[in-house]
């Protein structure tokens, strides 16, 4: 149990918590935070990394190893223990950001939805501890565990059990399902295609294209918006269709390549780290707001008004969904505004082929989570 002085010091610290830190994603992500965060954000504040996992031996070893890395980011190990019943309390108290990769990953032949029951139980338990120990008016919760499309509603429902939480804290503005890996894949698959086909793209050799991705985070709920990426302008419709399919099902390539030993871990750690850096900069006051795309609640949030008439009907259907992966402006107080305008800029195929399928399947995924 930390003493009062330690708790006082923690209040002036950016405390980053990883729940499920001994796993494939948890370890690689924690390594990036411990070894690289120091080089990419400006900070006069202490940064502390608190790592929790139910696998006691694994997390102790991981933290012992990482504690030899020469950066000023401090680190602590937490695990359930007969002697210390307060391990999650110690880990979560005064947390600024909680990342959740706790759960089971896919095996060949499994979809993300097959993980639902086990992972819904795990994230529900962890959410109860977050409710108990974190300051819900300050915390940012970043969910990695799959299926994101259903688990974000599970977490939100956990908060809704206690009406005063949603009313007093606006926690729905602080909860984000990390879908960054889809856009990471869009960028690298496009860059590889351009290089392999020796196409003209307007990109410098060391420049990466940015491919916005909206919708959900599973199969055909993923909508890569190549029309919004000028580097893709010289690709044929067939080449774009292949890229769309590869982004939607890219995770399967890794599950197959790992032959039953898990799913994406390194590319996911990289993708979550990219998102985490933005949140740390926001908390440190290095920026006033940030724009990120993630799977978020659409309820009680401001929307920009300039919705073209053609998009209105779909807009109302998206609103009926409650959750969607879409760009949003986030301040220290949480999500400030959702950038719905991206829907208006979709091209014919994205709007008429990809979006309706996404909406139908995403609805099913969300209902699964909401009825857990
Ligand atoms: P892993 O099995 O290597 O690691 C999971 C870790 O969670 C293990 O160390 C395990 O001991 C721990 N854990 C289990 N129950 C726990 C609990 N109640 N409290 C704390 N820790 C607990 O799995 P991996 O590969 O790291 O994947 C983690 C999750 O991330 C999976 O659900 C996977 O599907 C998902 N994922 C998400 C992606 C995304 O784009 N959002 C991409 C790839 C995977």
- Residues 36 and 151 occupy one common structural domain: yes
CB-based contact 335:329 (threshold 8 Å) = yes
CA 103-330-78 angle, 5° bins: 35
Is 270 among the residues known to form the active site? no
Measured in degrees and rounded to the nearest 5, phi and psi for residue 181 equal: -60, -30
Q: In the listed set 163, 178, 193, which residue is the last one of a domain according to the structure?
A: 178
Q: In the listed set 122, 153, 178, which residue is the last one of a domain according to the structure?
A: 178
CATH number for position 76: 3.40.50.720
Return the pLDDT at 1.
47
Q: In the listed set 125, 158, 178, which residue is the last one of a domain according to the structure?
A: 178
CATH number for position 240: 3.90.110.10
Closest ligand 1 atom number to CA of residue 262: 25
Task: Give residue-wise pLDDT tens across range 91-146.
Answer: 999 999 999 999 998 888 888 888 999 999 999 999 999 999 999 999 999 999 99
- Residues 133 and 116 occupy one common structural domain: yes
Structure tokens at 15: 């405390």
Question: Residue 331: which residues within 8 A CB-CB, separation 6 or more?
Answer: 282, 288, 289
- Residues 259 and 346 occupy one common structural domain: yes
- Residues 202 and 349 occupy one common structural domain: yes
Distance 222 CA to ligand 1 centre (A): 21
Total tally of structural domains belonging to the chain: 2
Question: Residue 297: which residues within 8 A CB-CB, separation 6 or more?
Answer: 152, 156, 172, 173, 175, 322, 323
Task: Give residue-wise pLDDT tens across range 256-268.
Answer: 999 989 999 999 9
**pLDDT surpassing 70 at residue 317:** no
- Residues 214 and 170 occupy one common structural domain: no
- Residues 286 and 313 occupy one common structural domain: yes
- pTM, whole model, 2 decimals? 0.95
Measured in degrees and rounded to the nearest 5, phi and psi for residue 338 equal: -100, 135
- Residues 47 and 145 occupy one common structural domain: yes
From the list 48, 68, 78, 217, the catalytic residue is 217
Closest ligand 1 atom number to CA of residue 102: 7
Residue ranges of the binding site for substrate: 106, 112, 146, 185
- Residues 213 and 94 occupy one common structural domain: no
Instruction: Collapse the DSSP code of 285 into the 3-class scheme (helix H, G, I; strand E, B; otherwise coil) and give the result.
Output: coil
- Residues 125 and 205 occupy one common structural domain: no
Q: Which domain holds residue 144?
A: 4-178
- Residues 151 and 197 occupy one common structural domain: no
């Amino acid at each position: 149990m930390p003493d009062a002085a330690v708790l006082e010091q923690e209040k002036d610290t950016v405390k980053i918590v990883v729940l499920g830190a001994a796993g494939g994603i948890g370890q690689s992500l924690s390594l990036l935070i411990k070894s690289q965060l120091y080089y990419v954000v400006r900070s006069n504040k202490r940064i502390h990394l608190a790592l929790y996992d139910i696998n006691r031996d694994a997390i102790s070893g991981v933290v012992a190893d990482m504690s030899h890395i020469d950066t000023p980011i401090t680190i602590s190990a937490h695990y359930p223990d007969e002697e210390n019943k307060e391990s999650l309390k110690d880990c979560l108290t005064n947390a600024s950001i909680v990342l959740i990769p706790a759960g089971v990953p896919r095996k060949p032949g499994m979809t993300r939805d097959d993980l639902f029951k086990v992972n819904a139980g795990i994230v529900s338990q962890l959410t109860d501890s977050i409710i108990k120990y974190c300051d819900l008016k300050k915390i940012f919760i970043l969910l990695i565990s799959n299926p994101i499309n259903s688990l974000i509603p599970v977490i939100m429902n956990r908060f809704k059990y206690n009406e005063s939480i949603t009313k007093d804290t606006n926690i729905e503005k602080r909860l984000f399902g990390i879908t960054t890996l889809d856009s990471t894949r869009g960028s690298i698959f496009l860059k590889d295609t351009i290089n392999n086909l020796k196409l003209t793209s307007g990109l410098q050799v060391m420049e990466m294209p940015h491919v916005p991705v909206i919708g959900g985070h599973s199969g055909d709920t993923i909508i890569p918006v190549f029309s919004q990426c000028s580097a893709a302008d010289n690709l044929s419709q067939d080449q774009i269709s292949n890229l769309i399919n590869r982004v939607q099902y890219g995770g399967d390539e890794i599950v197959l390549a790992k032959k039953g030993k898990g799913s994406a871990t390194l590319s996911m750690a990289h993708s979550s780290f990219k998102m985490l850096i933005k949140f740390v900069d926001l908390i440190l006051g290095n920026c006033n707001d940030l724009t990120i795309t993630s799977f978020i609640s659409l309820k009680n949030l401001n929307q920009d008004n300039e919705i073209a008439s053609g998009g209105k009907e779909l807009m109302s259907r998206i609103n009926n969904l409650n959750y969607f992966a879409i760009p949003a402006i986030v301040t220290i107080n949480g999500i400030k505004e959702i950038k719905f305008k991206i829907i208006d800029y979709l091209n014919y195929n994205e709007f008429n082929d990809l979006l309706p399928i996404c909406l139908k399947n995403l609805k099913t995924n969300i209902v699964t989570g909401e009825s857990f």
